[in-house]
Amino acid sequence: MHQLVYISTSRREISPEMLREILSVSRTNNERVGVTGLLVSGGNRFLQVLEGPTEAVCNTYMRIEQDKRHFATVVLTSRSVSARAFGDWSMAFKQGSRASDGTLREIVYGITENLTDAGLRADFRGFAELHSQAA
């Protein structure tokens, strides 16, 4: 089992339609190849974890990296893991934009509370902290 965590920046404002399209295509593609994970969006930044068979994760990331809608793609971690941190989610998604949803920081802290992988939890919480400071 392989896990890859990366961050990237959108070239333009992230509209709800853009997110729906990204998630729809990602979920279909990921389910087909056995990749699961989580995508967090904050401002014009994305933080994503991909998990699954090594070849599928690497191919998925290469396809993402070539997507012209974003740039400054940086791999934070890429490693073998014994189990998936995000279970059966073909691509879970969280965004902190509406007041009723809570802040991005609150959402990320909530979804990472039960992660047993302290490094992965720190990646997501660090992303949320940086985004909160920039807001």
Q: Rounded to a whole number, what is the largest CA-CA distance in the chain?
A: 39
Q: Which two tokens stand for residue 84?
A: 């998936």
**What secondary structure does DSSP assign to 49-72, as a single string?**
EEEE-HHHHHHHHHHHHT-TTEEE
Q: Give residue 79's pLDDT.
A: 93
Q: Which two tokens stand for residue 29?
A: 């593609």
Query: Could you state, in order of their start, the residue ranges of all structural domains in the chain?
Result: 2-134
| Residue 38: pLDDT band with limits 50, 70, 90 | confident
For 10-37, what is each residue's pLDDT tens digit?
Answer: 898 888 888 888 888 888 998 999 999 8
User: 2-134 adopts what CATH topology?
Assistant: Alpha-Beta Plaits (3.30.70)
For 74-123, what is each residue's pLDDT tens digit?
Answer: 998 899 999 888 776 655 555 544 444 556 777 778 778 877 888 888 88
Query: What's the predicted TM-score (pTM) here?
Result: 0.78
Alpha-carbon distance of 42 to 130, in angstroms, equals 10
Q: Give residue 3's pLDDT.
A: 93
